[in-house]
Amino acid sequence: MIRQPGTEQITQKDLAMALQNHPSFMLDMNSIDFLSVLDRLDDGVIITDINGTILFYNTAQAKIDGIASKEAMGMKVTDIYELDNRTSMVMKCMIHNASVKNKTFLYRTFKGKVVHSITSAYPLYASDRVNGSICFVKDYELLRRSSPLPVREPSYTDLGNGTRFCFSNLIGASKGFRQVVGIARSVSESASPIMIQGETGTGKELFAQAIHNHGPRRDKKFVAVNCAAIPHDLLEGMLFGTSRGAFTGAMDKPGLFEMAHGSTLFLDELLAMPVDLQAKLLRALQENRVRRLGSVRETLVDVKVISSVNKDPRTAIREGQLRIDLYYRLGVVMVKLPPLRKRLADMTELVAHFIEKYNQRLGTNVKGISPEVMELFNAYQWPGNIRELEHLVEGAMNMAGQDNTVGLKHFGPGLDCLEQVDMACTDPSVIVHSGPALNESTVFGDTPDPVNFVQNRKQLEAEAVKSALTYARGNVTRAAKHLGISRQLLHYKIKKYRLNRVDFIKPPEV
């Protein structure tokens, strides 16, 4: 039923008859001036070519940015905004050939205006090749003020199939990381099992969800189980189901394999599964059939299995954590995620993402982190990987309050882990000391005083830095190499102890 303002109701039948009697009423899509339609939208709209040059910039976007449309036309998005190819939504969607949908975004124009937005960007194609983009921008503050209900951070949208992540949500532009994403994307169409290897906190489940959402089973519900979170005596029934009477209180209940029929089953932390249960899992995978506990009837299942392990599967096999035959079955395709310490090129983009995320959750207005903190981030080994980075950024932003920049003072005890980098020299003989020989007895004494341990440690560390700079004659790269640490960390230590490398350029007097 269609109602036109100020008229009586018109039925679908009446409309069909009108179209038959008046062929000229038929809508000619080629005659529509779509740019004029886009210019009248309440949302901002930007259209660019493949280089990011703005070809269309509507009136709403001009109001949001405080920039005249004529002034914006012909500029690159990386010039009109304080963004680069990694942080610009427009450039990311074209570089990665992936849409970005409803992402909260904080950016600054070249005129200094800071805009809090909800942004979506889509690649445009010509002959199946990306040749531009279209970007839609909502003013977050306007939405918040006009909405009768609080506007929540969109974060990652529930896709309705038990997942929240696609390949477009995976952050990182470093060569190694994009190669892994390319492998995962290419095998997502296959029905073969996939094993994802990665240390804790590298994003294994994000990849599993992205693979599911890029494959032919995306319309079915994604089923996941963390094998480490379920007691061993319950895991078998959860996987294969139970029959009434199998044990006290048992009911007829399908297992996760039956629930994932026609879809994807993600076995997270596979190495936590008991080896005897791995044998039953192997049989189910080989036969494509499962038998509920206490039942004699087998059920045919069609399931794509994605599993994850937090160490090299061959090491797990040697240690008795993984059956070799199960590895051959589940490791048909291996996707190995790099740890954060091997993705330092992505550090700036990851930090910017977490700052944006927690600005919305905490109501803060942090613009970035200090160079000293970034130096520590690049020097640290990140045993907890991206999850650890996120928690550190969140904790610091809680301390930052309304400060615009997160500095060393905002980390508190959280900074301790970043400073725990081995200062031991790879070759102690190359360190030349200007004073008495340094050793533990010199600094700590024969009976170290626990109360003064921290101060003594700092003294030892400062002397080591001074000695390395003296030997290297102020050359930071050479000094860092002899200390066995990164240049970034040495720069931080130099600032920490208020040293000036210029003072060490000349050789010491004899």
Exposure b/e, 91-119, CB count within 10 A at least 16 = b: bbbbbbebebbebbbbbebeeeeebbbbb
Strand-strand pairing, 44-49 and 54-57: antiparallel
Quote the pLDDT of residue 287.
93
Quote the pLDDT of residue 416.
59
**The total number of residues written for the chain in this structure:** 510
d(Cα 31, Cα 15) in Å, to the nearest integer? 21
pLDDT tens digits for 434-469? Answer: 333 344 343 334 444 544 544 666 788 888 888 889
Quote the pLDDT of residue 145.
54
Quote the pLDDT of residue 430.
36
Q: Find which of 6-15, 249-258, 439-448 is predicted with most confidence, using mean pLDDT.
A: 249-258
Three-state DSSP state, 290: strand
Burial of 374 (0-12, 13-18, 19+ CB in 10 A): middle
Name which residue leads in pLDDT, 19 or 389.
389
Residues 6+ apart with CB under 8 A from 105: 89, 116, 117, 118, 119, 356
Please report, for residues 139, 155, 470, the alpha-carbon distance to residue 103 in angstroms, rounded to integers and kept in the order given. Answer: 12, 7, 50
- Among 109-113, 167-171, 341-345, where is mean pLDDT lowest? 109-113
pTM above 0.75, yes or no: no
List beta partners, residue 3.
9
pLDDT tens digits for 51-103? Answer: 999 999 999 999 999 999 999 999 999 999 988 887 888 998 999 888 888 88
List beta partners, residue 265.
223, 305
Q: What is the mean pLDDT of the chain?
A: 82
Question: Taking 70 as the threshold, does the pLDDT of residue 16 lie above it?
Answer: no
Percent composition of the chain: helix, strand, coil (DSSP 3-state, to 5):
45, 15, 35
Q: What does the pLDDT average to over 351-370?
A: 88
Domains of the chain: 34-146 (3.30.450.20), 167-336 (3.40.50.300), 341-410 (1.10.8.60), 428-504 (1.10.10)
